[in-house]
Amino acid sequence: MFSKLLDILNDLKPRQLLMLAGTAALLMFVVVYLSLTSLSEKKETTVTVPLSQTVNRSVVMARDDIAANTILQEDMLEVREVPTTAVPKGAVINMKDVVGQSVASTIYAGDIITVSKVFTDRSMAGFTGAIPENCRAVSVGISEITGVAGFARPGDYVDVILVEKGKTGASSRFLLQNVLLLAVNQNAAAKADSKEDDGKKAGSKPAIATLALAPEEMLELVSAASVGEIYLALRPFHAKDLYAGFGEYTLKSSLTENTVSVAPAAPQPASQPAYQPQAAPQPEAAAPSSGIRIIQGDKILGK
């Protein structure tokens, strides 16, 4: 095959050879050009953008140390630019997203604020997050009877009834209505042995109910608990009714209407003393004198 190619070239004229050489050179130029162009395009795609445009990112940072459970304010925070590789997951980039939120754990000066360090949801704050705004959590002692036999659960709403007992009877009244029950501790202050509670009814185990109350209601409940017994009345699901006209109910004891007379006891004879002293013997009265005396020696025998 190579010999045939040489024979063909030998048969060509000089002008044809020049044209063939030019065509071959042109083809080589095109191949080299295309190769260089593809290499330059690959290099351009791998060239990175200047560092000043990509490595920095604005994040919210703490100016000073912030203690746990502190409400974040704008003067506690600042916005800084840090390298992208140093930005942790969940970093806060907008200061307005965390202002007014509570801090979950201590944040030190220069730390980047993250979502995990801030309570963005009230439920994340634990028990204190369950307390409504402008309310306080206050506890009161109850029993299985006064606490609706244990059917009341955290999140339910109850009415609080005060029962006062006196010498003439007992009175009860609505102290508070539609109160949120935050917690019930059925095992608090429970007695280990029923024998120790001889003066209490069987099955009445002490417990503690924690209610969410406004400050003035809290004072009213604490004062009422010291003068009477507190009962909880469980409200129906989503019930909003309130008793405005029904006030106090008083029940007089029947023992105060009838007086019991007690008959006086019969007098008992006076007991005799165990020893009575004997009276001294009195001298016998002298017989009336007849005027005659009998004298025998130095003795007088009679008169």
Residue 262's pLDDT is 40
More confident residue, 195 or 98: 98
Summarised one tens digit per residue, pLDDT across range 57-69 is: 899 999 999 988 7
Mean pLDDT of the chain: 76
Tally of CB atoms within 10 A around 76: 20
Widest CA span in the chain: 230
Give the tens place of pLDDT for each residue, 209-253.
Answer: 999 999 999 999 999 999 999 999 999 987 777 777 666 788 887
Can you tell me which residue has the tokens 């994040």? 59
Q: 68-71 long-range CB contacts below 8 Å, 24 or more apart?
A: 68/103, 68/104, 68/105, 68/106, 69/102, 69/103, 70/102, 70/103, 71/100, 71/101, 71/102, 71/103
Considering only residues 253 and 44, tell me which one the structure prediction assigns the higher pLDDT.
253
Contact 81, 93 (CB under 8 A): no
The dihedral of CA 219, 223, 226, 231: what is its sign? negative
Q: Any idea which fold 56-126 has?
A: Type Iii Antifreeze Protein Isoform Hplc 12 (3.90.1210)
User: pLDDT tens-digit profile of 63-97?
Assistant: 999 988 788 899 999 999 988 888 898 899 999 88
Does residue 273 have a pLDDT over 80? no
Is 0.75 topped by the overall pTM?
no
Cβ–Cβ < 8 Å for 185, 148: no
Helix-strand-coil percent breakdown of the chain, rounded to 5?
30, 25, 45
Domain ranges of the chain: 56-126, 136-192+202-254
